[in-house]
Amino acid sequence: MTQPEPAVQMASSDSDNPPRGTSRAALTLGALGVVFGDIGTSPLYALQATLDPRYRLTTSITDLYGIVSLIFWLFVFVVTIKYVFIVMRCDNKGEGGSLALYALIHRQLGEKAPKRWLLTGALFATALFFADAMLTPAISVISAVEGLGVVSSAFKPWIVWIALAILTGLFAIQRRGTENVGRLFGPIMLIYFAVIAAMGGYHIAQHPAVLTALNPLYMVSYFQAHPLFSFLSLGAIVYAITGTEALYADMGHFGRIPITMAWLVICVPALMINYMGQAAMLIQHPEFIDNPFFHMVPPSLTIPLLVIATLATIIASQAVISGAFSVTQQAVQLGFLPRLRILHTSSHAQGQIYVPAINWALAFMVAVLVIGFQASAAMLPAYGLAVVGTMLITTLMQFVVVFRIWHTPRWQGVLGFVTFVAVDSVLLASGLAKLFEGAWFPLLVGLIIFTVLTTWSTGRRLMRASMLEDSLPLAVFIQSVATTVHRVRGTAVFLSASPEALPAALLHNLKHNQVLHERVVLLTVQVEDVPQVNSARRAEFHAEGHGFYRAILHYGFMEDPDIPRDLADACTGTDLAFEPLHTSYFLSRQKLIASCAVPGMALWRERLFAWMLKVSESAMDFFKLPTNRVVELGSQLRI
């Protein structure tokens, strides 16, 4: 079924303004629980993974100080300067993320925007995000549960099954929503950051010289000591900044300043104190290299630490699952995915949604990853590549804004561009060196999801063009039938894919029933490239004469269409009476016939598009149309 096809238009805003009725302190605490769960739990595995025997690194001062120095300066350059001070200023009405960034550029530059590579980059970054949404729960939870191995080796055979049980419960509760338990996320993460800072502080006190590791000269010594293995280890050091993209993607929920404050005041100090504490401990106790995070506390405190770490990893997983739901909603609204069933789990929090198809697809893939890889260390190469790939795409898209929208002085823009692209490219190259150790996974998943996104978008465009070719101009149609066809009482709303097209359902209804209603509304839903549309701009009507009206309902890509409600609101005070009990909705249902006879997509992509068209959510449910007032008329179509 087609209909209606979102049209792409655009807008921008001030991301510094917090949502009304919420204090900045509360938003900062909330950001801790949602935005920083992923990067906050990186100490569980980042340093341990970097000291993997394959890199031939040791617990010497040169290696440990070099690793800590690299982590610190990645925090400075990648997270703080690039994301916090530059990328997060590229907001679209306060919203962030690759699709929002694409929308911002498209709106600001219009026809001058670099369409092909920009759209390709935005969609591939979105595809990599879904790969990340599979990897984050698997790695985070199993890395925490692996702490049981420190308690007793008897737990090791059960680690995978315990992790699966926790993850299964996590996905099972998604349909109930996370609004109530979500209020605990911030306080729990605050406790977690305080705990890891205290752990690190204790060991720093035993070896205060580790504070000098922040000196960038230790990075130079690190690479001089063993250039090749230092380069390869960058693919593991990058695990310390996993979750950075969440700062930008979740900006719409909390605002730029609360996220900035949470990062600078709480997260960076706690994380660096813990990493330096791990390094200080390993210098004195190199035998703890197998799991330095859980060895930072005495055996009597391992279980409490395990509980806190597991709660933190569950929160990190919850955040990325919720993010996958939000990205799915954006992709559906912008026309890159077929309509999916989207349920709201809160009566007043707009962002609280549940997408069953995505939830259980993620649950299946997470279970496959846990069972297939068995340990967090085996999954980490895949994780790093997904993160760095998304970062590089964001960097390239961000500098379109810097150069062409902000008009930054060329020397500043070039200096920043070269620096950030160089850093991202080196990290990506190091990650690609592990292509056959698991780094192939995000590339494979990304390519599959990218193919799905582009196939749906291209198929819709071809279908829309085919239907437009067979359509009549509205003025010609009205002149030819308005006075010759029998009119019946009531209002008929025909959903149209395009404001210029005559709906196929109207022609089929006239052909088979040979009647028209006294009021005929040709309705198009347009999804614009802004998160929300002002209610004053929601609807526009154009009287075409003889009881015909063109209507357009505008929605943002973060909004849910509700046609009966918004039509009723828009018709208030106009000469177009909207009576729900005397209004019928006519939908077109197209059955796609995949064929090589008509130039379009490859046959296999046409078949994929036809399948997605078949399984997509019905327009009746998606647009909240009353079930007893809907008439569907079908036809066959080739593209």
Q: What is the pLDDT of residue 285?
A: 92
**528 close to 554: Cβ distance less than 8 angstroms:** yes
The kind and range of the H/E element at 387 are helix 376-404
Domains and CATH numbers, the chain: 24-457 (1.20.1740.10), 472-637 (no CATH)
The Cα–Cα gap between 57 and 74 comes to: 20
Mean pLDDT on 229-252: 84
Condensed to tens digits (0 to 9), the pLDDT of residues 558-575 reads: 788 888 888 888 777 666
Mean of all residue pLDDT scores within the chain: 83
Distance CA 569, CA 539 (A): 9
pLDDT tens-digit series, residues 471-507: 677 778 888 887 788 888 888 899 887 777 788 888 8
Task: Answer whether 585's CB lies under 8 Å from 522's CB.
Answer: no
- Evaluate whether 542 touches 549 at the Cβ level (below 8 Å): yes
Ordered DSSP codes for 530-590:
SS---GGGSEEEEEEETTEEEEEEEEETTS---HHHHHHHHHTTSSS---GGGEEEEEEEE
Distance CA(397)–CA(399), nearest Å, equals 5
Residue 10 has a pLDDT of 32
Asked whether the predicted pLDDT for residue 287 surpasses 50, the reply is: yes
- Quick check: 66 pLDDT over 50? yes
Q: What is the pLDDT of residue 562?
A: 86
Whole-angstrom distance, CA of residue 288 vs CA of residue 150? 10
Specify the range with the lowest mean pLDDT, choosing from 111-115, 255-259, 290-294.
111-115
**Higher-confidence residue: 577 or 603?**
603
Q: Could you give the CA distance from residue 523 to residue 4 in angstroms, rounded to a whole number? A: 9
pLDDT for res 88: 86
With a CB cutoff of 8 Å and minimum separation 6, the contacts of 198 are none
- Over the stretch 497-546, which tens digit does the pLDDT of each residue have? 777 778 888 888 888 888 888 888 889 888 887 778 888 888 888 888 88
- pLDDT at position 217 over 90: yes
pLDDT in tens, 305-347: 999 998 888 888 887 888 888 888 888 888 888 888 888 766 5
Using a pLDDT cut of 70, give the percent of the chain over it: 91
Greater pLDDT, 424 or 638? 424
Q: Mean pLDDT throughout 63-79?
A: 93
Average pLDDT over residues 242-264: 83
Highest mean pLDDT among 10-24, 60-74, 85-99, 459-473: 60-74
Range in 59-63, 352-356, 610-614 with the lowest mean pLDDT: 352-356
- CA 477 → CA 119, 481, 506, distances in Å? 37, 6, 11
pLDDT at 187 over 60: yes
Exposure string for 92-118, b = 16+ CB within 10 A, e = fewer: bbbbbbbbbbbbbbbbbbeeebbeeeb
Residue 638's pLDDT is 67
Give the model's confidence band at 199: pLDDT under 50 very low, under 70 low, under 90 confident, else very high: very high
Please give the single-letter amino acid code of residue 11: A
CB atoms near residue 229 (< 10 Å): 15
In sequence order, what are the residues at sequence separation of 6 or more whose Cβ sits closer than 8 angstroms to the Cβ of residue 583? 490, 491, 492, 493, 629
- pLDDT value at residue 6: 34
Average pLDDT over residues 253-282: 91
Helices (H), 238-373: 245-249, 251-254, 256-261, 268-284, 302-333, 356-373
DSSP 267-302: IHHHHHHHHHHHHHHHHH-GGGGGSTTGGGS-GGGH
| Whether the predicted pLDDT of 5 surpasses 70 | no
Instruction: Please check the confidence at residue 4 and state whether its pLDDT lies above 70.
Output: no
pLDDT over 90 percentage in the chain: 18
